[in-house]
Amino acid sequence: MPVIPGSIDLHTHSTASDGSCTPSEIVELAAGAQLAAVALTDHDTTAGIEEFLASASQFPCLEAIPGVELSTRYGARELHIVGLFIDHRAPLLEAFLAKERARRAKRNRDMKIKLALLGYPLDDDEPAFAAAGGMEANLGRPHFAQALMEKFHFPDLRTVFDKLLGNNKAGYIPRENASPREAIEAIHSAGGIAVWAHPIYRDRNERAYVRRVARKLAALGLDAMEGYYALFGPPETQLVTETAAQFDLAVSGGSDFHGERSPNIALGCGAGKLCVPANLLPHLKERSEQIRKDSDREIMQKE
C-alpha cells in the first residue's frame, strides 16, 4: 500500500544515529510522499536536527518536528521513549544525551572486544564505521552488523543478528540505560512530549503488561503512547488507543524508518499498511504547549 497523502510519520532515524538516509533525504522522502508532518527521532542524539529543519524550510506544506529516541531500562526490559517537539539546544537535554552517548560508546568498545574473542575482529576504520563518522560517533548494533556482513560475508543483516548481535546472542552486550523517569524529565526539560514507543509487538500477547506499565509511566509524566507502528495491525492499535484513553494519554505513531538498514520498513507506510492519521497532531501539540506553559510558570515563580 502506498503512502496516503496527508498522513504523518513521527518516528524516523537518519545517519545521525543508525539510519541510512541523511536528515535532508528524510525530509525529501516525506515531501515526495506528501506527508503532512514528519519527525526526526534519532537514538540519543539531536545532531541531525539542524539539517532536518533547514531542509524542511524548502517544503512549506510539510511540518518538520524535532525529536529524539531514548532507551531506558524498566525491570528486565529495554523500553524506548520518543521525545517530540523538543528544543534540541536545551542544556539539560544535551547533558542527558551526552551521558547516554558515553554509555553507548562503552558498550561498543565492549562489544568489539567480545566479537574479537569470538573470532570476528573488527578494525576501528571498517567502512561501516567510517561511513557513520568513525568509532567515536553514535554507533549502534546495525553499524556492527553491517561491518560484520561486509568483512565476514554474512548473507544479510538479519543473519548477523540471529547469530551474533540479537538479544542474548553470542556477541550481545547489554547496555546500561537510564530510567524512564530520567528520560521523561529530560524530554520535558526541552519542552517536548514523552511518547512510549512501540509498546507491544504483534507476536506477543501483552495486554496486561502494557496496561500495568502505562499506569506507572503515566504517573511519571508520560504524555502519549505509540498506537500506530510499522508492525502493528488493527488489534494492536486498538489496544494501545484504549490504554492511552484509560490513562489520559495522547496517541502518536510512526514507521521507525531506518532506510536500507530496515529495507522492509518504508517512510510513512511502514511494512505496507501503516497510516498514521494527521488528526493525532493537535492533541500532541496541546501536550507540548502545556509542558512549555508549566515550565514558564515554574521559572516565574522562582524569580
Q: What is the Cα–Cα distance from 41 to 45, expressed in whole angstroms?
A: 8
End-to-end distance of the chain based on CA atoms, in angstroms? Answer: 54
Q: What is the pLDDT of residue 138?
A: 73
User: Is 206 a domain residue?
Assistant: yes
Give, in order, the Cα–Cα distances in Å from 70 to each of 83, 155, 201, 266.
8, 30, 18, 22
Q: Which domain holds residue 63?
A: 8-89+184-302
User: Is 176 a domain residue?
Assistant: no
* Cβ neighbourhood burial of 61 (10 Å; 0-12, 13-18, 19+): exposed
CB atoms near residue 77 (< 10 Å): 9
Q: What is the Cα–Cα distance from 240 to 130, expressed in whole angstroms?
A: 39
CATH number at residue 200: 3.20.20.140
Q: What is the Cα–Cα distance from 111 to 273, expressed in whole angstroms?
A: 36
Q: Which of 141-174 are b and which e, b meaning 16 or more Cβ less than 10 Å from the residue's Cβ?
A: bbbbbbbbbeeeebeebeebbeebbeeeeebebe
Same domain as 18, residue 75: yes
Which residue among 135, 165, 195 closes a domain?
Answer: 165
Pairing of strands 77-84, 193-196: antiparallel
Q: What is the pLDDT of residue 2?
A: 72
Same domain as 67, residue 118: no
User: Is 175 a domain residue?
Assistant: no
Angle, CA of 39, 272 and 250, to the nearest 5°: 45
Which residue among 165, 195, 218 closes a domain?
Answer: 165
Q: pLDDT tens for residues 269-287?
A: 999 999 999 999 999 999 9
Same domain as 277, residue 235: yes
Q: What is the pLDDT of residue 112?
A: 94
Same domain as 251, residue 108: no
Same domain as 133, residue 250: no
Same domain as 121, residue 43: no
Residue owning grid cell 554507533: 139
Same domain as 289, residue 189: yes
User: Is 228 a domain residue?
Assistant: yes
Which residue among 114, 136, 165 closes a domain?
Answer: 165
Same domain as 290, residue 199: yes
Angle, CA of 179, 181 and 183, to the nearest 5°: 75
Same domain as 148, residue 243: no
Same domain as 125, residue 259: no
Q: What is the Cα–Cα distance from 96 to 185, expressed in whole angstroms?
A: 10
Q: What is the Cα–Cα distance from 148 to 169, expressed in whole angstroms?
A: 15
Domain count, the chain: 2
Q: 155: which 3 cell numbers?
A: 548473507
For every one of its 303 residues, what pLDDT tens digit does the chain have, with 9 covering 90 and above?
A: 678 889 999 999 999 998 999 999 999 999 999 999 999 999 999 999 999 999 999 999 999 999 999 999 998 888 999 999 999 999 999 999 999 988 888 888 999 999 999 999 999 989 888 877 777 667 888 889 999 999 999 999 899 999 999 988 999 998 889 999 999 999 999 999 999 999 986 556 678 899 999 999 999 999 999 999 999 999 999 999 999 999 999 999 999 999 998 889 999 999 999 999 999 999 999 999 999 888 766 655 655
User: Is 287 a domain residue?
Assistant: yes
